[in-house]
Structure 1
Amino acid sequence: MDNFVDSPWFMRVVAFLLAVLLYTSVNFNDFELKKKVDRSAQESTEIITDVPVQAYYDNENLFVSGVPKKVQVKIAGPKSIVQSTKQSKDFELFIDLTDLSIGEHVVQIKHKNFSDKLDVTIQPEKVNVTIEEKVSDYFIVDPEFNDNMLAEGYQVEDLSVDPRRVKITGSKEAINEIVYVKATLDVKEKVGKETTGTAKIRVLDNELNKLDVKVEPETVQVSISVKNPSKKIKLNVFPKGTPPKGVTITAIEPETDELTIYGKESILDEMEELMVPIDVSDVTKDTTIKVPIELGDGLNFASPQLVKVKVSVEGSPETKPADESKEE
């Protein structure tokens, strides 16, 4: 036996086996590392936002508040599966309240139809919900419009809404807290004619807090008709400036002594006349001047817009004496 161990062939075999073992060990580690790198390169993580949440409960008799309309989902796994899941969105997020009693509960958002190869994280994972007895009632809608969006001189003549009543469903407590049911017509441009638009219903309590209720329909049509009030007022003219030396203004007479002014009633009510200045600085003889009618804030139109004013004069402009030094 000792002779065999001491033989050179034994030593050669042992050295060979050790070399093979060392080679296998090194290459196995490289192989495992390569597998990890390849697997890492093939995996992906994506965040899907605005994912709706379905709630399961007895919606004929119960009303549930606190369920988020949309949440965020993080998925991680094989890149191909992650991408196809993100594109197809063939999955569902839900909370199951079917076995829960009336009251407040903390429930977990669950999911289904995700691949088993995906790691799924929902944010938030849990939500606070309140289950209450369902109550429905009908309320009158109050249409609104921002007067700052009226064209200059216009005012609201009528504001209407269709439908006039809406059905509101919620908890008994929320229904009892309803004070305002409003629909505000939003416009992008100043309104100077009859306008109709879609407005979303807002249900508010006494402190203008939005209530968690269901409204049917959620939107209504709000129509606004406007008017441009008018009033006939006296036109008075007066001279402005000083005529040339030697010229005297004897009369200033407009072809009409009355104007029709359009604008806000509150401003028109205070107007009895309009004073218009006539510039006589350059008048040297009898002439007729066309004067534009200029209006202030809250007024938007005058009829006529141009007024002819006859200016009568006496005398003539003095001739400047010749320069005596030049005559010499």
Structure 2
Amino acid sequence: MIKKIINSNYFYAFIALCCALWLFFFVSTPGVGSTRDSNQSNTSTVTKKATFTVPLQLQADVDKYYITGYPENVKVTIEGPSALVTATKNTQNFNLYLNLKDLSIGQHRVQIKESGLNSELTYTIKPKYVTVNIQQRETKKFAVDVDYNKESLATGYEAGKTEVSPDTVTVTGAASEIEKIDKVIVKPILPKGIKSSFDQEVLVQALDKNGKTVNVTLDPQTVHVKIPITIQSKQVSVNLKQQGSSTNSNYTFESDVKNVRVFGTQDQIDAIDDSIDVPVDVSDVTGNTKKSINLSDALGSKVAFTDPESISVTINTGSSSSSSTNSTNSTSTSNSDSSSTNNNSSSSSSDSTEDNNNSEQ
């Protein structure tokens, strides 16, 4: 019976009907596949906006012309499908440029253009127009001068011959700007009171006769500047000399320091002999004493400084020996007077004895 039913055409018709109903419900009911397609559709329709900076390119004969006035970078805002905006921002696979190929020498207002952006994107560029100056290009070499404030050096220190490396630079610019250049210079800034050699990279400047910067390109833009800074010195002996008025003329001076080293410029050192006179003021000295003499103050502008900076001087007035002499003289006088008294006493005693003898007779 079951076999007869299975072999029946009605059975196959029933199976076909069930399959058709199943397919109908599968298509009409949302499933995993339809959800994925829906999400993809929604993503493609979501828009996004992004702003970023892009280098500005030139389409011109830059070997022949020198062009100024344009920015190196410009801002671009793009809008469109989210995925496309993100990809464009990350890759920046498009160009913003100025087409100057057909322009003559002079100033021109030129629109910034783009190439390579997807047609589904809209964009705005800021600035939209720029004013460029096209001039005949010229290249010239200049020697580099050095200008610095020598007052920055510490007292007594001198600067030697300045070394600049490289000592020439290549200047490129409009021919009219090159003609304005009066000098190419570096201005190293030395610290106040510098005592050691200056050794740094310094920015190069092209200046006109009024000291204003000329609009040109320098290669290299910095140079190495070395300024040797030194101080001269010399070992000399010390001569202690009396200074100031006093009634005592028997002063003598003693110091444990016999030699000092003096420092200064080459001219100062050359002007000093093998010894220096150090004045010792005695105008306020009334007895044996010690004084500390500041050598820089004593020598004035003859040197920058000394080593040591000061020395201790013992001043002897000779008053101790004078007092001793007076004391000795006083003692001698006293002894003489005592002897005279004793002699007188002896004489009186002799006279008295003689009188007694006469009386007995």
* Both proteins in one fold, TM over 0.5: yes
Tell whether 2:311 aligns with 1:307. yes
Any conservation in 2 of the 1:276–1:293 contact (CA below 8 Å)? Answer: no
Deviations 1:218-261 (A, max 9, x none): 21111101232457798766679x9xxxx979526364798654
- Report the counterpart of residue 164 of structure 1 in structure 2: 167
Counterparts in 2 of 1:98 and 1:154: CA distance versus 1, 3 Å? same
Tell whether 2:251 aligns with 1:251. yes
Counterparts in 2 of 1:129 and 1:301: CA distance versus 1, 3 Å? same
- Report the counterpart of residue 147 of structure 2 in structure 1: 144
- Report the counterpart of residue 187 of structure 2 in structure 1: 184
- Report the counterpart of residue 26 of structure 2 in structure 1: none
Any conservation in 2 of the 1:76–1:82 contact (CA below 8 Å)? Answer: no
Structure 1 range deviating more: 215-224 or 51-60: 51-60
* Structure 2 CA distance for aligned equivalents of residues 87 and 261 of structure 1: 70
Counterparts in 2 of 1:138 and 1:218: CA distance versus 1, 3 Å? same
Deviation at 1:181, TM superposition (A): 0.3
DSSP 3-state at the match of 2:161: strand
Deviation at 1:163, TM superposition (A): 1.1
- Report the counterpart of residue 216 of structure 1 in structure 2: 219
Q: Rg larger in 1 or in 2?
A: 2
Any conservation in 2 of the 1:143–1:160 contact (CA below 8 Å)? Answer: no
Deviation at 1:282, TM superposition (A): 8.6
Q: Which amino acid aligns with 1:302?
A: T
DSSP 3-state at the match of 2:177: helix
Q: Which amino acid aligns with 1:262?
A: F
- Equivalences for 1:188-203 in 2 at 5 Å? 190-203=193-206
- Equivalences for 1:276-287 in 2 at 5 Å? 284-285=287-288, 287=289
DSSP 3-state at the match of 2:178: helix
Q: 2:130 aligns with which of 122, 127, 130?
A: 127
* Structure 2 CA distance for aligned equivalents of residues 89 and 190 of structure 1: 54
DSSP 3-state at the match of 2:61: coil
Q: Which has the higher strand share?
A: 1
Q: Which has the higher helix share?
A: 2
Q: 1:293 aligns with which of 292, 295, 301?
A: 295
Q: Which amino acid aligns with 1:167?
A: T
Any conservation in 1 of the 2:197–2:230 contact (CA below 8 Å)? Answer: no
Deviation at 1:302, TM superposition (A): 1.0
Tell whether 2:62 aligns with 1:63. no
Deviation at 1:89, TM superposition (A): 8.3
- Report the counterpart of residue 29 of structure 2 in structure 1: none
Any conservation in 1 of the 2:190–2:198 contact (CA below 8 Å)? Answer: no
Deviation at 1:100, TM superposition (A): 1.6
Any conservation in 2 of the 1:237–1:252 contact (CA below 8 Å)? Answer: no
Q: Which amino acid aligns with 2:313?
A: V
Tell whether 2:157 aligns with 1:154. yes
- Report the counterpart of residue 264 of structure 2 in structure 1: 263
TM-score, normalization by structure 1 = 0.61
How many residues end up aligned between the 2 structures? 266
Deviation at 1:264, TM superposition (A): 4.7
Deviations 1:191-211 (A, max 9, x none): 322232111110111122211
* Structure 2 CA distance for aligned equivalents of residues 110 and 224 of structure 1: 51
Counterparts in 2 of 1:121 and 1:149: CA distance versus 1, 3 Å? farther
Deviation at 1:131, TM superposition (A): 1.2
* Structure 2 CA distance for aligned equivalents of residues 207 and 303 of structure 1: 47
Deviations 1:96-123 (A, max 9, x none): 322222222112344566786565341x
Structure 1 range deviating more: 54-63 or 147-156: 147-156
Any conservation in 2 of the 1:139–1:167 contact (CA below 8 Å)? Answer: yes
* Structure 1 CA distance for aligned equivalents of residues 79 and 225 of structure 2: 50
Any conservation in 2 of the 1:46–1:75 contact (CA below 8 Å)? Answer: yes
Q: Which amino acid aligns with 1:311?
A: I
Mind listing any 5+ residue stretches in structure 1 that lack a counterpart?
1-38, 317-328
Q: Which amino acid aligns with 1:169?
A: T
Structure 1 range deviating more: 80-89 or 101-110: 80-89
Any conservation in 2 of the 1:62–1:132 contact (CA below 8 Å)? Answer: yes
Q: Which amino acid aligns with 1:178?
A: I
- Report the counterpart of residue 231 of structure 2 in structure 1: 228
Counterparts in 2 of 1:258 and 1:235: CA distance versus 1, 3 Å? farther
Any conservation in 2 of the 1:158–1:226 contact (CA below 8 Å)? Answer: no
TM-score, normalization by structure 2 = 0.56
Any conservation in 2 of the 1:107–1:126 contact (CA below 8 Å)? Answer: yes
RMSD over aligned Cα atoms: 4.6
Deviation at 1:266, TM superposition (A): 7.6
DSSP 3-state at the match of 1:158: coil
Any conservation in 2 of the 1:290–1:307 contact (CA below 8 Å)? Answer: yes
* Structure 1 CA distance for aligned equivalents of residues 210 and 277 of structure 2: 47
Structure 1 range deviating more: 102-111 or 130-139: 102-111
